[in-house]
Structure 1
Amino acid sequence: MSTTDHTPAVVDSTPDRFPNPGLPPHRPRRADVDERAARRATLQVVTMFTLSALGSIAFLVAYYVIDPQTRGTIIGIGRINLFHAVLGVTMGISLLGIGLGAVHWARTLMPDEEVSEDRHPPAASEEDKQAVARQLSHGWRGSQLNRRSAILGSAGGALGLFALPLVVPVLAGLGPRPRGELYETNWQSGMRLMIDPSGAPIRAADVTQGSVFHVMPEGFVGAAAHELDPEEMMISKGKDQIILVRLDPAKIKSQKQRDWGVDGIVAYSKVCTHVGCPVALYEQNTHHLLCPCHQSTFDMTDDCKVIFGPAKRPLPQLPITVDDEGYIVAADGFREPVGPSFFERNRPGLLKGDDA
């Protein structure tokens, strides 16, 4: 006995191609059909670009006229640094004027017809190159720059002046050529090494092998630091910080390192010679100091020479000794600049003891 399947067949009605819906009809803007509206739009664009130029000029004036330490009160915000506030506002006006002018120009005067193009091979024929040239020429005329030179002049002026607030502070901020201040820290001969942040002095007898102390100079840490100007304190934190470690004297490779230390106790700057991050991670088994920012690694048994990472110079060593009470003190200041390199680092006349 046979059965017949009466299930209707499924017919795929999906078309092979969808009809091209085409582009919506172009709706002319007022500036396209009314010359007075076009002139008004031109004036608005020029005004915005001019506002940008004035913002750039105001930025430069404020940069040189306002004292960077001037503070004031703004309602709803409170006390702020007026120098930074004015620079921010004028820079914002400069950038806003360029942005608004460009957007308004595009929406009111530039061509807004939608076009579609078929895909074509990457290599262009000579006819296509000529067509592109004609399109660029048409675009130039469509932007109306050939007719409305005021837009071109104001846009060029706004963009040119906008570059000045970016360049002038950089050049002016370089200041005079560096002198001895880049070589100087607050470390002086006879100054005790104090634990950071407690401010307690360190006896040489209390420094066991493998122990680590984070150190600041006497008078710049603990209760004494509260009497310092906050800016002076921040500068000291940035350049005076020291790491103190006691090594096995038999493992120290450098004679200078032995001479500047005390029975294996050595003191080195914590300011990385790459970009100035604090080098504070000590591996007791390997005697390596690690910078957490970019992984520069220094060998403490070999005068803190770089063994890995982007740093190019060893960490400077601080000469130390012991006073009559058994406390560790600086035998002298640093003999070289601490921290990253700079152009004038090896200029004659700036090294300690150089009278040239």
Structure 2
Amino acid sequence: MSTTHDHGHDGHEPGDGLGTDVVLREGEDAGRFPNPGMGPHRPRRSDVDPAANKRAERQVVALFTVSIVGAIGFIVAYFALPLDETPERLRISNLALGLGLALSLLGIGLAAVHWAKALMNDHEKAEDRHAQRSSDETRAQAVQVLKDGAQDSAIGRRGVLKGALVSSLALFPLTIALPLIGEVGEDWDVSKFKRTMWAKNKKLTIDPTGRPIKAADVTIGSVVHVIPEGLDETDAPLDEKAKAVVLLVRLDPRDIKSEQGEGWSYDGIVAFSKICTHVGCPVALYEQQTHHLLCPCHQSTFDVADSAKVVFGPAKRPLPQLPITVDDEGYLVAQSDFHEPIGPSFWERLR
């Protein structure tokens, strides 16, 4: 016996494919759909053709080999192309490291996917839901399923495939570990982060030309990327620039709500570190109407008119303010270095 519910009131005839016909067997719950069951299994080419199976195995091995080559390439590039102070060498080094890392990780990912799709068992299976804590018998069955899966993957009988898998997985972590460990003798002097090139009477110059800036040249609403005078003459200009780069903004003095120090601005011109206090990204997006600085990495937002305090996002501290004034010729100069370390938190930082 069966019951048919016709929903033909929408203008469609029952059974025409456009209405909704639900046929229930005797004893079935009208609020549930019947279980359609598993569809018929369709064997893959690699299941019925030994040559196709072997070809798929060679493809997986080739992908793992790509990962191995990428990892080795990363290691070679790390030692053969050390970071240099010139932008060109830095670009080449980053490109080589990025390609090696990408190939290493991509090879493992593609190999795993292709292995699963072409060589492992693809029969669909269904398991009933049960209590979160399985019984001891179920746990033993789970272990057996894992063993069966390993046996089904035939990894024990595929020596070349197993060697490629182990080699790629063994080499890939080195692409992450090497940059973290660093070269032998690397400088861990964190006190360098507590100071920059800025000093009393050090002129503010335009990045990257190094041209000094007069206060009269900065109009209300304008933003200027600033570096300290003489940056290119230092032993490590890129390292110094990474700490000392500043964003200069001119506001209407009446819009300034607060400063981090008395007299640290000049006629509405304020200068703040360009390094985000979250993870060190360059803060460079200025909203003229709201006086907000936005970090493009994680959307931390700072209010320039109110001591660069955080108004949104994950950053926890305001951007450090650089005390500025003008010299006798009208050029903008620093009154001193920043009064606190710039950038994100690090060990040994007091606040």
TM-score, length of structure 1 as denominator length: 0.58
Asked whether 1:316 is paired with 2:323, we answer no
Asked whether 1:329 is paired with 2:295, we answer no
The 5 A counterparts of 1:170-319 are 170-172=180-182, 175-194=186-205, 199=211, 201-203=213-215, 212=222, 214=224, 216-217=226-227, 219=229, 232=237, 236=241, 239-245=244-250, 248=253, 257-262=261-266, 266-274=270-278, 275-278=281-284, 280-283=286-289, 288-291=291-294, 293=296, 294-298=299-303, 300-301=305-306, 303-319=307-323
Q: How far did 1:340 drift?
A: 3.2
Counterparts in 2 of 1:44 and 1:239: CA distance versus 1, 3 Å: same
Aligned with 1:122 (options 115, 129, 135): 129
Question: 1:155 is matched by which residue type in structure 2?
Answer: L
Asked whether 1:141 is paired with 2:151, we answer yes
Asked whether 1:64 is paired with 2:79, we answer yes
CA contact (8 A) 1:55 1:93 kept: yes
CA contact (8 A) 1:260 1:318 kept: yes
Q: How far did 1:140 drift?
A: 3.4
1:207-235 per-residue CA deviation (whole Å, 9 max, x = no partner) reads 78x66553625647xxxx9x889x94796
CA contact (8 A) 2:221 2:288 kept: no
CA distance in 1, matches of 2:121, 2:233: 64
SS at 2:325 equivalent:
strand
Q: How far did 1:159 drift?
A: 1.5
Aligned with 2:177 (options 151, 167, 171): 167
Structure 1: unaligned runs, 5 residues or longer: 1-9, 72-79, 348-356
Question: 1:315 is matched by which residue type in structure 2?
Answer: L
CA contact (8 A) 2:225 2:248 kept: yes
SS at 1:258 equivalent:
coil
Aligned with 1:88 (options 77, 95, 99): 99
Q: How far did 1:277 drift?
A: 1.2
Q: How far did 1:185 drift?
A: 3.5
2:10 alignment partner in structure 1: none
Question: 2:287 is matched by which residue type in structure 1?
Answer: L
Counterparts in 2 of 1:239 and 1:146: CA distance versus 1, 3 Å: same
Larger radius of gyration: 1
CA distance in 2, matches of 1:41, 1:291: 50
Counterparts in 2 of 1:178 and 1:279: CA distance versus 1, 3 Å: farther
1:29 alignment partner in structure 2: 49
TM-score, length of structure 2 as denominator length: 0.59
SS at 1:182 equivalent:
helix
CA contact (8 A) 2:73 2:100 kept: no
Counterparts in 2 of 1:56 and 1:136: CA distance versus 1, 3 Å: same
CA distance in 1, matches of 2:293, 2:196: 23
SS at 2:151 equivalent:
helix
CA distance in 1, matches of 2:130, 2:112: 37
CA contact (8 A) 1:280 1:290 kept: yes
Q: How far did 1:236 drift?
A: 3.4
CA distance in 2, matches of 1:90, 1:252: 47
Counterparts in 2 of 1:268 and 1:282: CA distance versus 1, 3 Å: farther
SS at 2:303 equivalent:
strand
CA contact (8 A) 1:45 1:105 kept: no
Which deviates more, 192-201 or 136-145? 192-201
Q: How far did 1:343 drift?
A: 3.3
Counterparts in 2 of 1:279 and 1:313: CA distance versus 1, 3 Å: farther
Q: How far did 1:147 drift?
A: 4.8
What's the C-alpha RMSD, in Å, of the aligned pairs? 5.4
Counterparts in 2 of 1:159 and 1:190: CA distance versus 1, 3 Å: same
SS at 2:342 equivalent:
coil
Counterparts in 2 of 1:45 and 1:105: CA distance versus 1, 3 Å: farther
